[in-house]
Structure 1
Amino acid sequence: MEIIRSKQFLAERAWGARDIANMNGVTTRLHWTDQPYKWHINDGEEVFAVLDGKVEMFYRQNGQAFSEILETGDIFYACVGTEHVAHPIGEARILVIEKEGSV
């Protein structure tokens, strides 16, 4: 049993993470960042939940780029093959659930 106070989590570098759980090859990680990630496509599905802060999520569908502002409590679901990149607006803390070893 463990309680994690996500709003208090800090990492030494952008996208630094704290591993929370690995359930049969599906990882749950808490990330802290104040810098954009990189465009990528995960090896499987991804659930991206903003726990604190705001993130502009860019994604591509059918060759077109889109973006949405995700606020605290919002969840972005990337199905297999969804190219995307997260740009925090200031500091953000994000819970990411994905296949172990995914980008």
Structure 2
Amino acid sequence: MQFVDADTYTAERPWGALDITEIDGATVRLHWTDQPYIWHVNDGPEVFVVLDGAVDMHFRVDGKEHVESLSPGRICFAEPGDEHVAHPAPAARILVIERKGSV
């Protein structure tokens, strides 16, 4: 068994991750960050769960930018092809489940 205290995890760099497990080709990772990620499009589905802190999820629909605020317990599901970028406010711990090697 493995137990993780997400509320105390801190990485050495923004978006650093603790690999928790791999399930049927999907990774389950705990990320810590105090910096935005980069605009990107995943090549597979992604489940993004804020565990601690807050995140403003910026995403584009038909070229128009939108922002959704995520607080602890709020879940974001990005389908393949969804363009998005996460901005922590000011720092966050995030559980991400996605296909292994997904960009």
TM-score normalized with structure 1 length: 0.97
Q: Deviations over 1:46-65 (max 9, x none)?
A: 00000000000000112211
Moved over 2 A (4+): none
Q: What residue in structure 1 maps to residue 64 of structure 2?
A: 64
1:24 CA displacement: 1.7
Instruction: Tell me the SS of whatever aligns to 2:32.
Output: strand
* Partners of 2:84 and 2:57 in 1: CA distance: 7
* Partners of 2:70 and 2:24 in 1: CA distance: 29
Q: Does 1:94 align with 2:84?
A: no
* Partners of 1:71 and 1:6 in 2: CA distance: 15
* Partners of 2:81 and 2:6 in 1: CA distance: 29
Provide the aligned length of Structure 1 versus Structure 2.
Answer: 103
Q: What residue in structure 2 maps to residue 3 of structure 1?
A: 3
Instruction: Tell me the SS of whatever aligns to 1:7.
Output: helix
Instruction: Tell me the SS of whatever aligns to 2:7.
Output: helix
Q: Deviations over 1:15-69 (max 9, x none)?
A: 0000001112100000000000000011100000000000000001122110011
The aligned runs of 1:5-84 (5 Å cut-off) are: 5-84=5-84
TM-score normalized with structure 2 length: 0.97
Matched-pair identity in %: 56
**RMSD across aligned positions (CA):** 0.6
* Partners of 1:81 and 1:6 in 2: CA distance: 29
* Partners of 1:91 and 1:38 in 2: CA distance: 16
Where does the alignment leave 5 or more consecutive residues of structure 2 unmatched? Answer: none
Where does the alignment leave 5 or more consecutive residues of structure 1 unmatched? Answer: none
